[in-house]
């Protein structure tokens, strides 16, 4: 190794050591241990996928988990087919919707189904037996005023202190963003659907 390469390697080690020291200090300051509220929103793909990824992690840790899907339900998805295998073994899975609103075309029925889904979700949020709760596409029901935001924020505030909650769906209301601990907004850069490619199993379904 040449002298220049040795110097470059040493400079790299020094930079990485400074970065490690910074990260270690941040980790040391993070001493609070409690349940968190995560909101995945935005127009980009991946909101529900991220939520189901966290569900998989939680099941891997032996957590008691609950899922309520507010909108999806008129078609079978890969995540439902997979996670149904865990029902009765740490997971309660409820598909409460009947499809996207432009497909159902029945507002009163959509409201009825959303409120029924919320009753199931609210019971989970009040139950300390649940370590992790995924409320998939709840944001859609909030945006359309099928469920009142105050009901949701009150339930989140009153939930067991160590319970984690993930809420997905585009258009998360400002009030939900405010009470959440972690908020991620998915942004569309490019999507196959715009090129005429239909939804694919394993990717969208």
Per residue in 16-60, pLDDT (tens digit) is 899 888 888 888 887 889 999 999 999 999 999 999 999 999 999
Q: What is the pLDDT of residue 187?
A: 93
121, pLDDT greater than 90:
yes
Report the chain's terminal Cα–Cα distance, integer Å: 52
pTM: 0.87
Give the residues across from 164 on adjacent strands: 132
Q: Cα separation of 172 and 142, whole Å?
A: 8
Q: Which residues contact 31 (CB under 8 A, 6 or more apart)?
A: none
Q: What is the pLDDT of residue 75?
A: 55
Number of domains in the chain: 2
- 137: helix, coil or strand? coil
Provide the 10 A C-beta neighbour count for residue 68: 26
Q: What is the pLDDT of residue 48?
A: 93
Mark whether 111 and 173 lie in a shared domain.
Answer: yes
State the chain's mean pLDDT as an integer.
89
Mark whether 27 and 110 lie in a shared domain.
Answer: no
120, pLDDT greater than 90:
yes
**pLDDT tens track for 65-77:** 999 999 865 556 8
99, pLDDT greater than 60:
no
Is 183 part of any domain? yes
Half-sphere exposure of 75 (CA within 13 A, CB side): 11
Domain that holds residue 14: 1-31
Q: What is the pLDDT of residue 102?
A: 45
Q: Which residues contact 180 (CB under 8 A, 6 or more apart)?
A: 37, 38, 39, 167, 172
Mark whether 11 and 74 lie in a shared domain.
Answer: no
Q: Which residues contact 7 (CB under 8 A, 6 or more apart)?
A: none
Q: What is the pLDDT of residue 54?
A: 97
Is 119 part of any domain? yes
Q: How confident is the model at residue 93 (pLDDT cuts 50, 70, 90)?
A: very high
Mark whether 80 and 19 lie in a shared domain.
Answer: no
Q: Are strands 91-95 and 182-186 parallel, antiparallel or unpaired?
A: unpaired
Mark whether 43 and 2 lie in a shared domain.
Answer: no
């Amino acid at each position: 190794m040449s002298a220049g390469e040795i110097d470059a390697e040493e400079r790299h080690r020094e930079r990485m050591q400074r970065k490690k020291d910074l990260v270690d200090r941040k980790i040391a300051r993070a001493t609070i241990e409690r349940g968190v509220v995560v909101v995945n929103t935005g127009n980009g793909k991946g909101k529900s996928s991220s939520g189901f990824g966290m569900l998989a992690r939680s099941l891997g840790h032996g957590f008691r988990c609950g899922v309520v899907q507010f909108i999806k339900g008129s078609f079978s998805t890969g995540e439902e087919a997979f996670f149904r295998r865990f029902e009765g073994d740490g997971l309660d899975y409820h598909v409460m919707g009947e499809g996207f609103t432009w497909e159902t075309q029945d507002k009163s029925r959509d409201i009825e189904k959303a409120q029924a889904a919320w009753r199931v979700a609210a019971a989970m949020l009040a139950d300390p037996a649940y370590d992790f709760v995924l409320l998939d596409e709840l944001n859609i029901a909030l945006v359309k005023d099928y469920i009142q935001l105050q009901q949701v924020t009150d339930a989140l505030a009153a939930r067991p202190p160590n319970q984690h909650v993930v809420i997905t769906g585009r258009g998360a209301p400002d009030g939900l963003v405010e009470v959440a601990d972690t908020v991620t907004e998915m942004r569309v850069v490019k999507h196959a659907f715009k090129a005429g490619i239909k939804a694919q199993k394993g990717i969208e379904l």
